[in-house]
């Protein structure tokens, strides 16, 4: 009898939660879909460069070593764009304007890349896409956190699902237009056979964004260029074009077509119906508070005014530092694994065929996408901190097993799948968890996104140099070290959270005592 009653109560609770989340989404559907589509653009741009880089080398007639410059320019400017993205969020109007400009820039650059005939021009174009991607990353995460607050975990999982979806689709779209042989037809004889298997090997190798010890591959740099890669970029530009149009439609609906508009936008007019009814004066106060004073999203120091900086506990800064370092290591693992798992698989002792090893990166991205999709229903049944703990432990166990079973090609695919599943939801859960601790002021989002971009860039460089000097086996060892360090930092974050919560209670208790004494005095 008790078990039936418990099951019935659980079903009622889940039904209420589902209805409440669905009501939240219905009132914010246009905003949510716009941010999701922006992250789809992010994913398209993130994964398109790797498969097309050899054809772009032909187009610019660059050397194999020189073409890796475009990887660095995009990755570095992605980090810069993530860092400055918070400054474009000083108002709701500027956030949408920046998002519209960034998403349109991606389409414009995709259309422009086919006419880049030299390496510096291509590097500048990819740097611009990196800046646009960084701004999209920060603004979309920040606005969704502000939009849903305590319910943001579910919608952040869906947001990051669209990155994986875009990253899966763009290589599939580009594949029919890639050259099967060396696309620069020169008069001299190359030092290797221009076979499709060789080019496939080099494409997978270049996914690591750095080339080490590949001087024996001599590609032609002068001659007739024969490539159809332009069609891939033009198709991607058209696919991405509805995204800035959707942002402009949202801006028109919110009456913020001019950046940093002084007029109050009509953001979420339907939200007032979700809670208890408010008076007209309360609605005006809420509107002015939400839309005319969002400057706290610009940077961390604005969240604690400079005049009150001494009153801010050290745990406030500790939450930002430890939260950022967790994402530094988790995104660093994602970047280094996608970059160098192929290099590890084709080297001794694994020695997988080039074609089979090339599937590993796709398996990893597919697992991340599936993991984020599965985390959407889990996010409102499991608290973010518990999901984070489970995923962090899962990452360490998977990397440890990969390290032990380093000669098993079967477990390499199995482990890659599980690693993608476990690591998939760490990013969105960490954003939701940290912002929840800090009362959704938006400060943590910019810091965490920037740290994630820094980790992806720096740890790839570190792993590449270690592999070059110590061999391919060090790839898994580096991943294990990063995983342990990330989990240690996460435990530090939980400790700082406990200290911060204790400090907040201690700071609030004197106020409660004063209010209670005043109430007793009024009664007497």
Tokens 């409440």 correspond to what residue?
20
Go through 362-401 and write b for each residue having 16 or more CB atoms within 10 A of its CB, e for each that does not.
bbbbbbbbbbbbebbebbbeeebbebbbebbebbbebbbb
Q: Which of 87-101, 363-377, 408-422 reaches the highest mean pLDDT?
A: 408-422
What is the rounded CA–CA span in Å between residue 388 and residue 329? 14
Two tokens, residue 153:
């975990």
Nearest to 241 by CA among 45, 48, 136, 106: 106
pLDDT over threshold 90, residue 480: yes
Q: Hey, which of 91-95, 291-295, 363-367, 392-396 has the most confident mean pLDDT?
A: 392-396
Measuring CA to CA, how many Å separate 477 from each of 204, 331, 344? 21, 17, 12
Q: Does pTM surpass 0.85?
A: no
| Residue 57 to residues 52, 70, 316, 519, Cα–Cα distance (Å) | 9, 10, 47, 76
Contact 146, 138 (CB under 8 A): no
Cα separation, 33 vs 155, in Å, equals 10
Mean pLDDT is lowest, of 63-67, 156-160, 204-208, 258-262, for 258-262
Distance CA 145, CA 139 (A): 10
pLDDT of residue 211 exceeding 60, the answer is no
The mean pLDDT of 231-260, rounded to a whole number, is 85
Tell me the two tokens of residue 380.
Answer: 């409102």
pLDDT in tens, 274-288: 333 333 333 333 333
Q: What is the DSSP string of 87-154?
A: GGGSSHHHHHHHHHHHHHHHHHHHHHGGG--SHHHHHHHHHHHHHHHHHHHHHHHHHHHHHHGGGHHH
Closest residue by Cα to residue 105 from 57, 36, 41, 160? 41
CB 163 within 8 A of CB 365: no
pLDDT reported for residue 131: 93
Give me 496's structure tokens.
């700082």
pLDDT at 291 over 50: no
For residue 253, give every residue at least 6 positions away whose Cβ sits within 8 Å of its Cβ, in sequence order, or none.
Answer: 30, 266
Could you give the domains of the chain? Answer: 22-258 (1.20.1250.20), 311-517 (1.20.1250.20)
60 pLDDT higher than 90: no
Contact indicator for 452, 331 with CB cutoff of 8 Å: yes
192 — pLDDT class (breaks 50, 70, 90): very low
Indicate whether 135 pLDDT > 50.
Answer: yes
């Amino acid at each position: 009898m008790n078990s039936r009653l418990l099951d019935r109560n659980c079903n009622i609770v889940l039904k209420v939660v589902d209805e409440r989340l669905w009501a939240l989404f219905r009132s914010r559907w246009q905003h949510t879909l716009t941010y999701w589509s922006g992250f789809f653009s992010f994913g398209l741009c993130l994964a398109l460069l790797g498969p097309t880089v050899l054809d772009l080398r032909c187009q610019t007639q660059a050397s194999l070593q020189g073409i890796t410059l475009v990887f660095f320019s995009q990755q570095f400017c992605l980090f810069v764009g993530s860092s400055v993205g918070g400054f474009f969020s000083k108002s709701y109007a500027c956030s949408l304007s920046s998002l519209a400009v960034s998403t349109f820039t991606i389409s414009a650059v995709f259309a422009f890349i086919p006419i880049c005939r030299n390496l510096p021009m291509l590097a500048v174009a990819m740097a611009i896409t990196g800046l646009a991607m960084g701004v999209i990353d920060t603004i979309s995460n920040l606005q969704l956190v502000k939009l849903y607050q305590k319910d943001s975990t579910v919608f952040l999982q869906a947001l990051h699902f669209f990155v994986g979806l875009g990253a899966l689709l763009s290589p599939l779209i580009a594949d029919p237009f890639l050259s099967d042989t060396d696309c620069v037809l020169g008069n001299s004889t190359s030092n290797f056979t221009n076979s499709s298997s060789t080019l496939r090997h080099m494409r997978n190798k270049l996914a690591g964004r750095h080339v080490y010890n590949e001087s024996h591959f001599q590609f032609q740099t002068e001659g007739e260029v024969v490539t159809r890669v332009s069609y891939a970029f033009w198709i991607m530009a058209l696919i991405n074009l509805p995204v800035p149009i959707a942002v402009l439609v949202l801006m028109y609906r919110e009456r913020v077509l001019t950046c940093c508009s002084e007029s109050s936008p009509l953001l979420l007019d339907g939200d007032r119906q979700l809670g208890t009814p408010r008076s007209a004066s309360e609605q005006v106060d809420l509107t002015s508070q939400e839309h005319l004073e969002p400057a706290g999203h610009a940077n961390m120091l604005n969240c604690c005014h400079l005049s009150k900086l001494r009153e801010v506990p050290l745990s406030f800064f500790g939450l930002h530092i430890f939260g950022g370092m967790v994402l530094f290591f988790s995104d660093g693992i994602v970047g280094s694994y996608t970059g160098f798992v192929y290099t590890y698989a084709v080297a001794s002792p694994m020695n997988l065929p080039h074609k089979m090893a090339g599937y590993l990166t796709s398996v990893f991205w597919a697992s991340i996408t599936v993991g984020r999709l599965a985390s959407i229903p889990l996010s409102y049944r499991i608290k973010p901190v518990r999901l984070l703990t489970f995923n962090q432990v899962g990452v360490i166990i998977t990397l440890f097993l990969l390290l032990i079973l380093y000669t098993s090609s079967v477990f390499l695919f199995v482990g890659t799948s599980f690693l993608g599943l476990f690591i998939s939801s760490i990013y969105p859960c960490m954003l939701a968890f940290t912002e929840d601790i800090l009362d959704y002021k938006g400060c943590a989002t910019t810091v965490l996104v920037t740290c994630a971009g820094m980790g992806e860039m720096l740890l790839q460089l570190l792993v590449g140099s270690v592999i070059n000097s110590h061999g391919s086996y060090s790839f898994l060892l580096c991943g294990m070290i990063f995983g342990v360090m990330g989990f240690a930092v996460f435990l530090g974050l939980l400790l700082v959270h406990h200290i911060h919560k204790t400090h907040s209670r201690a700071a609030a208790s004197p106020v409660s005592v004063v209010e209670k004494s005043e109430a007793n005095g009024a009664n007497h």
